Amino acid sequence: MEWIVEQTLLYDFYGELLTEHQKEIYEDHVLNDLSPSEIAGEHGITRQAAYDMIRRCNKILAGYERKLHLVEKFLRTKEKVSEIHLLAKSILDAEDQEQMKTEIRKIEQVSNGILEDL
């Protein structure tokens, strides 16, 4: 997964667990694409302090994910829902009853997988 997408997902799921100051710095870096130097200028801190805060936030968010796996579960569920969508589309395009029944069984299996993950 692309780094920025991964960081954005981590922030979406766990960002509220950061302090206000950490959120401001992290948002500026990840969401607003500011460099540590630009962040330092805006917040009246050194470039090194901005860099350290970004690294600390990365570690904190990654630690939450290691313990809770919410992003991982979200991505798995999203993948399964996409699969259900494709199966439903193939049912609409199916020519005969047997093909429809096969696709419906697949939907049942995938949806059971989602329910087991929850």
Residues 9 and 57 in one domain: yes
Residues 82 and 47 in one domain: no
Cα(71)–Cα(64) distance, integer angstroms: 10
| CATH number, residue 10 | 1.10.10.10
Banded model confidence at residue 116, pLDDT cuts 50, 70, 90:
confident
The number of residues making up the chain comes to 118
Q: What is the pLDDT of residue 92?
A: 80
pLDDT at 90 over 90: no
State the pTM of this model: 0.80
Cα(94)–Cα(38) distance, integer angstroms: 56
Residues 83 and 63 in one domain: no
Q: What is the pLDDT of residue 101?
A: 84
Average pLDDT estimate for 42-47: 97
Residues 55 and 12 in one domain: yes
Residues 56 and 77 in one domain: no
For a pLDDT cut of 90, what percent of the chain falls above it?
69
What distances in angstroms separate CA 114 from CA 17, 84, 90, one per listed residue?
Answer: 27, 10, 20
Residues 59 and 105 in one domain: no
Structural domain span for residue 61: 3-68
Q: What is the DSSP letter of 27?
A: I
Residues 89 and 35 in one domain: no
Average pLDDT estimate for 6-14: 97
Long-range pairs, 26-30, Cβ under 8 A, ≥24: 26/53, 26/54, 26/57, 29/54, 30/4
Question: Under 8 Å CB-to-CB from 39, ≥6 apart: which residues?
Answer: 25, 28, 29, 45, 50, 54
Mean pLDDT, all residues of the chain: 93
pLDDT at 25 over 90: yes
